[in-house]
Every structure is written in C-alpha cells, then in structure tokens.
Amino acid sequence: MALRDIKPTRSELINLKRKIKLSERGYKILKMKRDGLILEFFKVLAVAKDTRGDLNNRYSQAVEMMALANTVEGAIGVKSAAFSVKEVPEISLKSKNIMGVIVPEIGSTKVRKSLVDRGYGMLGTSPVIDETATAFEELVESIIESAEIETTMKRLLDEIESTKRRVNALEFKVIPELTEAQEFIKMRLDEMEREELFRLKRIKARSMA
C-alpha cells in the first residue's frame, strides 16, 4: 500500500498519545517495582548466607554426635532412644506478601524438647544421647528456617526476572513502536493537510479564472 493511500485520523493520533502515556507510566511503576524487589532480594540473600553457614555447621555437629552416640550406645541403643519419642514437630505453612510476591512463612510446633519430653529413660541412656538429640533438634530448626528463606529467595528471583522482561519489553519494543507510529501519523496528517490546502487553492484559483 502506498503512503498516499494511508489516511489516519486525529482520533487515532490522540489514542496513540494516550497509549504512550499509559505505557510510560506502567514502565516507571514496573521499574520501581523491579528495583524494590532487587533490594528485598539482597536483604534476604544476606540472611540466607548466615542461615546456610549455620545449617552446615549444625549438620556437621549432628553427624559427629550421631557417630559418637553409635560408638557409645550402639546402633540398637540409639534407635531405641529415637523410637521412644512420642511427639514429633508439626510443620505449619502460612504466607506473607513482599511487594506483591507471596512467599511462605514456615513454622512448627516445639522442636526442642526437655529431657522428660523426649520419652526415653534418663537412667538407661548416657549424656551423649541427650547431646545427640539436642544437635538434631537444632538441625531441624535450621532446616525449617532455611526452607523458608530459600523458597522466598526463589520466588523473589522469579518475580524479578518476570518484571525485568516486562520493563525491557516496554522500554525497547512497545514504547518505541508506539512513538514511531505516532510520528508517522503526525507526519501523514500534516501531509494530508498540505494536500487539502493545495487542493482548495486550486479550486479557488479556477473559480476566479
């Protein structure tokens, strides 16, 4: 189709201007959201580094205590103490909102127990069993905490990537294409006005001849 055959209207130009303004406003909001999410991510990341270190330390401690307990009490003694526990922690899952991102809030019933609540007889076991139980209770607490933080990090990262794609699409595709279309329509309308003015002048000149 030739350029001359394209005849846009003023209303189309007005609609394009409105779309550009909406796109630019959306771009600014999404950019602010992306930047805010990145800040939140780095806050969680700082906590995650400490949590990972704590988890690794507690895991190593629990493994060492288990090896020691097996040496002192024997595998049967350790299993007997483990099976005597009557109450196990129950995990609860809630959610919270971070800048529009729903992240988990993981809780649990009491993980750490007193010597009495552990169920095994204090007279029939050595202190190493108590220390091993404490080490594994601390490990479970770290696992629960790490699960919440790691999941939060993943969801924030996913949302950051999604928001970045939308920001880039608006910045490099949608807004430039709308702006280009606006400039073309404006140019074509100006050209049509000049053609119309020239046509009217010719008609006037003929009528005066």
- Return the pLDDT at 186: 92
- Considering the domain boundaries, does residue 190 fall inside one? no
Terminal Cα distance for the chain, rounded: 37
Query: Cα–Cα distance between 109 and 113 in angstroms, integer?
Result: 11
**pLDDT-based confidence at residue 45 (cuts at 50, 70, 90):** very high
- Considering the domain boundaries, does residue 193 fall inside one? no
- Considering the domain boundaries, does residue 66 fall inside one? yes
- Considering the domain boundaries, does residue 96 fall inside one? yes
90 vs 27, more confident: 27
Q: Give the torsion through C-alpha atoms of 135, 139, 142, 148, to 10 deg.
A: -150
Q: Give the torsion through C-alpha atoms of 133, 137, 138, 143, to 10 deg.
A: 140
- Return the pLDDT at 5: 62
- Total tally of structural domains belonging to the chain: 1
- Return the pLDDT at 20: 96
pTM: 0.76
Q: What is the CATH number of the domain that holds 105?
A: 1.10.287.3240
Task: Find the domain containing 47 and state its range.
Answer: 27-164
For residue range 61-89, list pLDDT tens digits in order: 999 999 999 998 888 888 887 777 767 77
* SS3 state of residue 81: helix
Decide: 95 and 105 in contact? Cβ < 8 Å. yes
- Considering the domain boundaries, does residue 20 fall inside one? no
- Considering the domain boundaries, does residue 174 fall inside one? no
Mean pLDDT for the stretch of residues 7-32 = 93
166 vs 76, more confident: 166
- Return the pLDDT at 34: 96
Decide: 82 and 66 in contact? Cβ < 8 Å. no
- Considering the domain boundaries, does residue 5 fall inside one? no
- Considering the domain boundaries, does residue 75 fall inside one? yes
Query: Cα–Cα distance between 196 and 190 in angstroms, integer?
Result: 10
- Return the pLDDT at 119: 66
